[in-house]
Structure 1
Amino acid sequence: MEVCQVLHMNGGRGEKSYAQNSSIQRKVISMTKPIAKEAITNLYRNTFPASLAIADLGCSSGPNTLYAVSELVKAVDEVRRKLGHQSPEYQVLLNDLPGNDFNAIFKSLAGFQEDMRKQMGDGSGPCFFAGVPGSFYGRLFRRKSLHFVYSSCGVMWLSQVPEGLEDNKGSICMVGKSPPSVVKAYYRQFQMDFSLFLKCRSEELVAGGRMVLNIYSRKSEDPSSKESCYIWDLLSVALNEMVVEGIIEEEKSDSFNIPVYTPSPLEVESIVEKERVLHH
């Protein structure tokens, strides 16, 4: 079965839900808020759109989704008040894979809208929300329809498990002991996916549109360094212990691999530059 049909964060608001276990992701959004704020306010100052379409790609569910959106909308509202402009209307497009718990988001929208009215007061334009299920490694929106694209902690997830991982036995991802062929397979898949991601967004963004991506990455140029692979190494050890105890079949464990790649800044920059040359 394809990754896009099965991969999703745990829904609901229970003890094991993503909503209750995403504090690190919340911290990432908070840390990078000044960058997102600067990008969307520069967009507004340069274009003054009557309506502003914002897409959150890999939105998941829980409080982080609407937290990110609220900060973007408040940033624009602050600038337009200082300039004495009428507020734009906001179209917020929340995207994730089909298995995402969109219902949990929709149920919280009434409270979110009320909180935003209290914080921004009269004169702020309405926010219209829509859920957009589908993989962001493909077209999701009409051509030239988005003003601002935002994604946090999503792009390191690959569209599929890379091909050619037969020699990655005993590991569930690219780790320090993985053979060079496995490391190359993961990077090749990231190259293809991220290039396609950028191509699709370039078609969907309006002229002068902005995009902010928060990506888990690594400082080292070694793809199998501990900073990017440590957690997967630990999980591999746990699964191998379960194989020894007979809880999991060895064949099933060997066939299981996580579709995730944490790139270095240089790897991201090189792909962005390649796409810039290709499409300009």
Structure 2
Amino acid sequence: MALTFLGRRNEDPCSKDGCYIWELMASALNDMVSQGMIKEEQVDSFNIPQYTPSPSEVKLEVLKEGSFSINRLEVSAVNWNALDDWNALEFESERFESVGDGGYNVAQCMRAVAEPMLVSHFGEDIIEEVFSRYQQILADRMAKEKTKFFNVTILLTRKT
């Protein structure tokens, strides 16, 4: 069996590897609190049910459970901005303008994940504003640093 999921490369659960993208979402929400668009209590009580494990945590859980042997375990990095991957391959970025703004693309990916939770907690009225702000924050961060997701991939064999 092969599994790939979001993780982190280092052991600190609070590192940028695992929670930075959500910290930026929190920045957008906190901006809206400071402008009186949403209540601070709403933001304080909002939680995203996600955990990004390190490779050693994954290994420990598989060994504890005991049904599988680990054949391979590795971490790979994926750029938030798809154009970074193309540029790394020395393609002309003008040829790939249709890929669009990286901040927009990442915001839309995150919207697919987070929108139902945000609507359930805050209501539908704030969604466009949250993601507009989030897109701007993402674009700013992505312009200043190489941002990456980390995938943990594990290959397992069921013990007989």
- TM-score range (shorter-chain normalised) is 0.3 to 0.5
Instruction: Give me the TM-score of the superposition, normalised by structure 1.
Output: 0.24
Instruction: Give me the TM-score of the superposition, normalised by structure 2.
Output: 0.41
State which structure, 1 or 2, has the greater radius of gyration over its C-alpha atoms: 1
Q: Which has the higher strand share?
A: 2
- Asked which structure has the greater RCO (Cα within 8 Å, sep 6+), the reply is 2
Q: Which has the higher helix share?
A: 2
